[in-house]
Amino acid sequence: MLPLQIHLTLPPWIGDAVDADRRYAGDEERVGLAIALSRHNLEHAGGGPFGAALFDANSGRLIAVGVNRVIPLSCSVAHAEIMAMMIAQQRLGRYRLNEDGRHYVLATSSQPCCQCYGATVWAGIDELLIGARTDDVQELTKFDEGPLPADWIGELERRRIAVRRDILRDQARTVLAAYGASGAVY
Amino acid sequence: MLPLQIHLTLPPWIGDAVDADRRYAGDEERVGLAIALSRHNLEHAGGGPFGAALFDANSGRLIAVGVNRVIPLSCSVAHAEIMAMMIAQQRLGRYRLNEDGRHYVLATSSQPCCQCYGATVWAGIDELLIGARTDDVQELTKFDEGPLPADWIGELERRRIAVRRDILRDQARTVLAAYGASGAVY
């Protein structure tokens, strides 16, 4: 019998760690939530120190969050950004979020890896907000982030996805450094 | 309340369409199954005309299959290759398939898009077998396949993932052409 389904979950502590009713205004509040999630995931030994959050750009409403779930779910796809995008799409009932004419923002604690970079192209987001750079990830942890197109920002901008980075970069680096110092291998 | 989970399924017709006990020997039998899945997905109006299958390289045992499920699941991530990789990993209980020292093969009806390309880097596969090229997809359907690194094959090979393409390419093109002619928008 071939298996025909997969069930992906976020950890139960998310409910206590995130204020789902708050409005998140501005880039720093949005990336700040993604970094807080990355720190919680490290503290709970839940997997890689990465967090993401997806917002309605205008209202600041939080649509979905994600943390890295690769090890607990035995799933190399289950990066923070992928979890947030999939859950947001299923919540709103469409595979391209901004087909309703509104604008959506994906905030992530570190620059997306090659997989999550590609996924942002299809998800219907309008803005990608980034905390730490790939150089920070590779300096402070042992993670490879994979190959990207040389002009990865331009490729997104030509598809109408704005990119802003170095948002609370030092804060994001602090979590990566704590992970590196912990000797964790997840 | 934030949603904390996602459930992804393959269509029920997979059980009838695939011989799960057969051993698939050689590149053509393996890509042939991926193309057959792409055709079934088109005939069942299940989504994009794309199929994938994941094998143990030496025994030819079929570990998992996938078809494009973007529209039925409201999930832009649910491409054929992603479904096959996630289900295979969960079946074998590890996020990097080849950590057991065996070799694994991902066969796909068309060259992976930017998202699935990135995902192959992390999945623990040793060989990527491709039917139609991205040029075929973009000629015969309206799908954009997204930006890749200029030397996308070399980037995989440097990570010990062998790439072979143009396997049953005409057969794969035939399904893409049927999709294009159908006027389908999924």
Mean pLDDT of the region A118-122:
98
Contact B146 A122 (CB under 8 A): yes
Q: Please name the residues between 83 and 112 in chain A that touch chain B, using a CB distance below 8 Å.
A: 83, 85-87, 89-96
Q: Give, rounded to a whole angstrom, the gap between the first and last alpha carbons of chain A.
A: 31
| Length of chain B, in residues | 186
Three-class DSSP labels, A63-104: EEEEECCHHHHCCCCCCHHHHHHHHHHHHHCCCCHHHHCCCE
Residue A88 Rama label (left phi>0; alpha psi -120 to 50; beta):
alpha
Q: Give the three-state DSSP class for A29.
A: helix
Question: Is pLDDT at A185 greater than 90 in this prediction?
Answer: no
CA distance linking residue A78 with residue A125, whole number of Å: 19
pLDDT digits (tens, 9 = 90+) for A123-171: 999 999 999 999 999 999 989 899 999 999 999 999 999 999 999 999 9
The count of other CB atoms within 10 Å of the CB of residue B100 is: 13
CA distance linking residue A1 with residue A94, whole number of Å: 31
How far is residue B137 from each of residues A42, B4, B65, B110, measured CA to CA in Å?
A: 41, 35, 20, 7
Mean pLDDT of the region B122-136:
98
Q: Which of B18, B86, B155 lies nearest to residue A77, judging by beta carbons?
A: B86
Chain centroid to Cα B24, Å, comes to: 16
From chain B, the residues in CB contact with A117 under 8 A are 114, 118
Mean pLDDT of chain A: 96
CA distance linking residue A153 with residue B173, whole number of Å: 32
pLDDT attached to residue B185: 64
Which residues on neighbouring strands pair with residue A8, listed in sequence order? B6
Contact A5 B3 (CB under 8 A): no
pLDDT band at B186 (very low <50, low <70, confident <90, very high): low
In angstroms, what separates the C-alpha of B39 from chain A's closest C-alpha? 18
pLDDT band at B151 (very low <50, low <70, confident <90, very high): very high
Question: Is pLDDT at A46 greater than 90 in this prediction?
Answer: no
E strands, chain B, are 5-9, 51-56, 62-67, 104-110, 127-132, 162-164
Mean pLDDT of the region B113-134:
98
Contact A76 B123 (CB under 8 A): yes
pLDDT attached to residue A186: 56
Contact assessment for residue B35 and residue B52, using Cβ atoms and an 8 Å cutoff: no
Q: Please name the residues between 36 and 55 in chain B that touch chain A, using a CB distance below 8 Å.
A: none
Contact B115 A95 (CB under 8 A): no
Contact assessment for residue A31 and residue A167, using Cβ atoms and an 8 Å cutoff: yes
Mean pLDDT of the region A32-40:
98
| Strand ranges of the sheet holding B62-67, from the earlier edge strand across to the other edge | B62-67, B51-56, B104-110, B127-132, B162-164
Q: Please name the residues between 18 and 37 in chain A that touch chain B, using a CB distance below 8 Å.
A: 18, 20
Please state the ipTM of this predicted complex.
0.97
CA distance linking residue B117 with residue B103, whole number of Å: 18
Q: Please name the residues between 123 and 182 in chain A that touch chain B, using a CB distance below 8 Å.
A: 123-124, 146-150, 152, 155
pLDDT attached to residue A108: 98
pLDDT band at A86 (very low <50, low <70, confident <90, very high): very high
Task: Express as a percent the part of chain B with pLDDT over 70.
Answer: 99
Task: Express as a percent the part of chain A with pLDDT over 70.
Answer: 99
